[in-house]
Structure 1
Amino acid sequence: MAAAAPPTGKKRRFERSSSQEPPGSGGLDLISGLPDAILGEIISLLPTKYGARTQLVSRRWRPLWRSAPLNLDVYDLSGQERKRVALASKILAEHPGPARRFSLHCFRLRGRHAKLDGWLRSRALADLRELSFSYEVEREAQAQAYPLPPSALRFAPTLVVLYLSSCGFPDEMPPTLHFPRLKQLTLCSVATSEDAIHGVLSRCPALESLLLQGNFGVRRLRINSASLRSFGFYSKSWGFSSASWNGFAGAELQEVVIEDAPCLERLLPLCPNDGVAAIRVIAAPKLEIMGPLSDGISQLHLGTTIFQEMTAVSLTTSMRSVKVLVLDSDGPNLDAVVDFLSCFPWLERLYIASQPFKVIKNTRRYDPLNPIECIQFHLKKVVIRNYGGRRPDVDFAKFFVLNAKALREMELAGLNNCNQKWLANQHRRLQLEKKASQNAQFTFKTTHTSDFSMNKHTHDLSISDPFDRSL
């Protein structure tokens, strides 16, 4: 038998190169060895385009995208609307489901009712866990909110996260409609009614976080929830010229009543100077984080304790559960702050945005014979925004320097450039050498953020203190 011909030079080079690992490959592909279920979860966490591209990685990865839970963000598919619609239709037609997330933001309806309904009824969205939906708003021409498609409610049994914006929520819902797994709910610029929103909340037995942003039709909101842990809200709707969707002119949130919330930990009026007029807390035994509060809230009832525009009218109830308090003060108002400190005897962290537009002459003097419990034993951190180093600012901050015996950290943040001469002068005027707590550390910072409003952590329950920017 004739011997086989030796490989040519080109073939030799190919065999050598194919037997070598590419630079930086690091040896074995350990990720591909994971079970399909785990790889599918990884793919479902990727943005839509990158998840689909995993089919090109290798033969091992090729079938995984279709078997992984679908994560579809329509807006990210393309910068061109027509192409976005075509790609979304193709993906929903080809993917067998189930779905992890479906995001459809700023959808231009323009007669596409059947297209939208077809998408929402697609088998690819079976067992959907997260739904994010909003219409594009034609601000000048559109006087009414387009209604939420009824087919969107078919996901209620499986939803864990729901975000709705710029749409109308139905006033009447089928009696069988429930959201048994829903944990996060956001309603933003939604036209609805008090009966509708109270009905939805009563059908969410697992709800943990609720965010309401500039909705229409709800003036008074009552919270009765055995599971709710975090509640953020503001009433004004920005970006709409008429604020009168569906005849709800001026029907914005004015009063929040926490009637029964045994698990509520965070109460966050996100824009207090342009928000609700009254907050009443009747029963929230685990409330730990509260604020920002300001004189824009004309009535604040904490049990039987009453504040009117940050002035204490009655101090008969103390809330020992509150550990974090945020205040938006019209000037360095020590008198108002001391009343709040008396109301929260176990307070550990205090954040204050002292608005510089008004100078307040503080008349309150601390009486050691009538001590404030949190000042004596618990207050560990104080952050003051808009600190300018003027006499009212110094007197305000010095109260905590000289009296807070458990203080560990105090941050004074303002717009000033903190040069060495200015810092030395502030150290002297604040009498830091006489600090009540020997463990206290003082820092001066330059910041361009003047307040603590519009906090973005309503839904992030993993953060122990949503106002601590060092976390």
Structure 2
Amino acid sequence: MSVAEELDVVVAPRLERLVLWNEFPYPRRVSHDFRMRVKIGYTPELKMLGYLELGIHVLVIANTVIEDGAKPSHRTMVPTVKVLALKVRFGVRQEAKMLLTFLRCFPRVETLHIMSAESDEPTGKLNSKFMFCQDVVPIECLKSHIKKVVFKNFRGEGSELAFLRFVLERAQLLQTLVVVLADEGGDHASQEEVGNRLKPLIYSTRRASRCTNFVIFVHSGGSAWNFRTASDLSRSDPFDC
């Protein structure tokens, strides 16, 4: 099966959902330097987008390539998107940094899905403590819009915890945080250990949200997301599975 090198959504005035499916999990079956260009043009009704894979997809909005550290402007934003799904290898520094840049491109996201992927390439030592907290430029969707965050395949890594803390400290309207533990092959002891790493985060983080019905759900099972389920138009959120 071939892998597309480019997807250009030039003019799609009625497109509401753009669901991307990678048949060959990166990086096992594609070249390490493979990139797929995803261009979003005139899409005034686009509300749901994902999974954008930071290790594969090069995001282009209008005619602007979104690069690490790019400053947000009206030309580099898609304000109609309400549900955004991103796949990130938190063990790869460049992807972890690019995650924040991508979030700035979608200022009105209300539901954010993050799927954590394993990395099989050396990336050097990561300073997870400062990876996200050094970023001082406000992220509009976190500050004013995000109400629900779903984090799938949580392994308890320092960079994953740092990102969750980053979200909790900035998401002022956050109502629900769902953390799905990675499937460790039925090893309940291992999953319990990973779950325990969340406790300091849950109980010691100074949350920005003052929502009175704020809840955190933690459960096991990995990610059951698949393209067939996501293609069911009766689902209000194609990534909530």
Shorter-normalised TM range: 0.7 to 0.9
Residue identity in the other structure for 2:157: R
Matched, 1:457 2:230: yes
Q: Distance in 2 between matches of 1:403 and 1:304?
A: 30
What secondary structure, in the 3-state scheme, does the structure 2 residue paired with 1:385 have? Answer: strand
Distance 1:433-1:457 versus aligned 2 partners, 3 A rule: closer
Distance 1:355-1:436 versus aligned 2 partners, 3 A rule: same
Residue identity in the other structure for 2:148: K
Residue equivalent to 2:181? 414
Residue equivalent to 1:341? 103
Distance 1:254-1:433 versus aligned 2 partners, 3 A rule: closer
Distance 1:307-1:297 versus aligned 2 partners, 3 A rule: farther
What secondary structure, in the 3-state scheme, does the structure 2 residue paired with 1:337 have? Answer: helix
Q: Distance in 2 between matches of 1:366 and 1:299?
A: 22
What secondary structure, in the 3-state scheme, does the structure 2 residue paired with 1:253 have? Answer: coil
Taking only the aligned residue pairs, the percentage that are identical comes to: 26
TM-superposition CA deviations, 1:263-295 (whole Å, max 9, x none)? 111111111746972221121111111111113
Residue identity in the other structure for 2:170: N
Residue identity in the other structure for 2:20: P
Alignment of 1:70-109 (within 5 A): none
TM-score when normalising by structure 2: 0.75
Matched, 1:405 2:172: yes
Matched, 1:321 2:85: no
Matched, 1:395 2:172: no
**1:305–1:315 CA contact under 8 A, matched in 2:** no
Uncovered stretches (5+) of structure 1, i.e. residues with no partner: 1-236, 238-249
What secondary structure, in the 3-state scheme, does the structure 2 residue paired with 1:270 have? Answer: coil
Query: How far has the Cα of 1:432 moved from its partner?
Result: 4.8
Residue equivalent to 2:11? 260
Q: Distance in 1 between matches of 2:156 and 2:230?
A: 31
Distance 1:347-1:432 versus aligned 2 partners, 3 A rule: farther
Residue identity in the other structure for 2:166: F
**1:455–1:467 CA contact under 8 A, matched in 2:** no
Residue equivalent to 2:199? 427
TM-superposition CA deviations, 1:15-40 (whole Å, max 9, x none)? xxxxxxxxxxxxxxxxxxxxxxxxxx
Residue 354 of structure 1: which of 116, 120, 124 is its match? 116
Alignment of 1:85-164 (within 5 A): none
Q: Distance in 2 between matches of 1:314 and 1:346?
A: 16
Query: How far has the Cα of 1:261 moved from its partner?
Result: 0.4
The farther-off stretch of 385-394 and 267-276 is 267-276
Number of paired residues?
A: 213
TM-superposition CA deviations, 1:67-107 (whole Å, max 9, x none)? xxxxxxxxxxxxxxxxxxxxxxxxxxxxxxxxxxxxxxxxx
**2:153–2:222 CA contact under 8 A, matched in 1:** no
Q: Which has the higher helix share?
A: 1
Q: Distance in 2 between matches of 1:334 and 1:405?
A: 22
Distance 1:392-1:433 versus aligned 2 partners, 3 A rule: closer
Q: Distance in 2 between matches of 1:455 and 1:350?
A: 20
- Highest RCO, 1 vs 2 (Cα 8 Å, sep ≥ 6): 2
What secondary structure, in the 3-state scheme, does the structure 2 residue paired with 1:400 have? Answer: helix
**2:55–2:88 CA contact under 8 A, matched in 1:** no
**1:253–1:276 CA contact under 8 A, matched in 2:** no
What secondary structure, in the 3-state scheme, does the structure 2 residue paired with 1:434 have? Answer: coil
Residue identity in the other structure for 2:4: L
Distance 1:304-1:312 versus aligned 2 partners, 3 A rule: farther
TM-superposition CA deviations, 1:147-169 (whole Å, max 9, x none)? xxxxxxxxxxxxxxxxxxxxxxx
Residue equivalent to 1:441? 215
Query: How far has the Cα of 1:414 moved from its partner?
Result: 1.5
Query: How far has the Cα of 1:461 moved from its partner?
Result: 2.2
Matched, 1:468 2:237: no
* Superposition CA RMSD, Å: 2.8
Matched, 1:371 2:145: no
Larger Rg: 1
Residue identity in the other structure for 1:347: V
Query: How far has the Cα of 1:394 moved from its partner?
Result: 1.4
Residue identity in the other structure for 2:77: S
Distance 1:338-1:455 versus aligned 2 partners, 3 A rule: farther
Query: How far has the Cα of 1:433 moved from its partner?
Result: 5.3
Residue identity in the other structure for 2:161: V
Q: Distance in 2 between matches of 1:405 and 1:256?
A: 34
**1:455–1:466 CA contact under 8 A, matched in 2:** no
